[in-house]
Amino acid sequence: MPKIVRLHRLGGPEELRLEDAAPEMPQAGEVRIRVQAIGLNNSEAQLRRGDYPMLKASLPCRIGRECAGIVDAIAPDVESIGLGDLVSTIPAFDIQRNGVYGDWCVVPAAAVVRVPAHLDRIEAAAVWQQYLTAYGPLVEYGRADGRHTVLITAGASSVGLGAIQMAKTLGCKVIATTRSGGKAEIIRRAGADHVIVTERDKLVPSVLDATGGRGFDFALDPIAGPGLANLVDAAANSATIFLYGQLATEATPFPLVTVMRKGLSIRGYTLWEITLDPQKRERAVRFIFDGLDARRLRPIVDRIFDLSDIVAAHRYLESGQQAGKIVVKTESRTP
């Protein structure tokens, strides 16, 4: 019997239950995917714990946004995708109903794209969350180019590494941070010009030194919390700080005076701004596909788990040890 992961109550990784579930038929506008690989995201661990700020779980529910696999059923009204297509999912649907953790999932056809021929299933499951998160601040809104310096915090995360790659394709100078010196080399290999190890380096003087005293033009930050004050101090005049997460457990004080003095923009951002807008989504997908085809963008996978080890995979996700994407493969994966 095929398996899916279902969440019945909030809590630790052990609350992820692997259950028998016969595949459901897609409804209007949907396709069913025989899942071969699943990309994990921190927001899914937050949802599981009950501290995801963007969504409260309605239990019991499914979970998961990113997967790659084979389309094995389509609704009669779907023409964009065919049976047997190798596809991956764009995060643009209700993960509690259409969650992808499991051997199968049913998702909107509008959130499905064919996988480029040079990507394997594991890489294909690690594309969209990271690059779409970076695309909005850097391309759609920031129009970043060779004139700009970009600061990327949590640089060894999948989004951080994807943002580094994307910023470099745009010609930007990139500064990235990591707590651990052990992750500095993988950040450099991803393209960062400067790496700040926050357990030993002070952020503000390090950024100012790397920019000749000017500061950064754009920052992508998933942490928030008290560290926002340091970002503000390290920013150039008229810079924009994009906050796309809330990993910090402390409150986020607003440094009003420095923000006013420098004329800064501090902007909340989620990838839903891109994925739920058909025109923006189309532009983003085209840009990312071009980068993948040219090998300028290449997902970095840290570790692969089996679906039967989904609890261990989430424990590893929460450990902070990874540098890049954690991927879970299913029994239906083929070579």
Name residues whose C-beta falls within 8 Å of residue 255's C-beta, 6 or more positions apart in sequence: 228, 229, 232, 233
**How crowded is residue 77: how many other Cβ atoms within 10 Å of its Cβ?**
11
Distances (CA, A) of 188 to 46, 158, 191: 29, 14, 5
pLDDT recorded at residue 253: 95
**The residue type at 18:** L
pLDDT recorded at residue 335: 37
pLDDT recorded at residue 284: 98
Contact 310, 20 (CB under 8 A): no
DSSP secondary structure string for all residues of 20-42: E-PPPPP-TTEEEEEEEEEE--H
pLDDT recorded at residue 332: 61
Q: Of 90, 21, 29, nearest to 61 (Cα)?
A: 21
Segments of the chain scoring below 50 in pLDDT: 334-335
Helix (H) or strand (E) holding 274: helix 272-275
Contact 136, 111 (CB under 8 A): no
Delineate the domains of the chain, giving CATH numbers in brackets.
3-127+300-329 (3.90.180.10), 129-272 (3.40.50.720)
Distances (CA, A) of 175 to 153, 230, 260, 264, 305: 8, 14, 24, 19, 31
pLDDT recorded at residue 334: 44
Whole-structure pTM value: 0.94
pLDDT recorded at residue 28: 97
The answer to whether the bond into 60 is cis (omega within 30° of 0) is yes
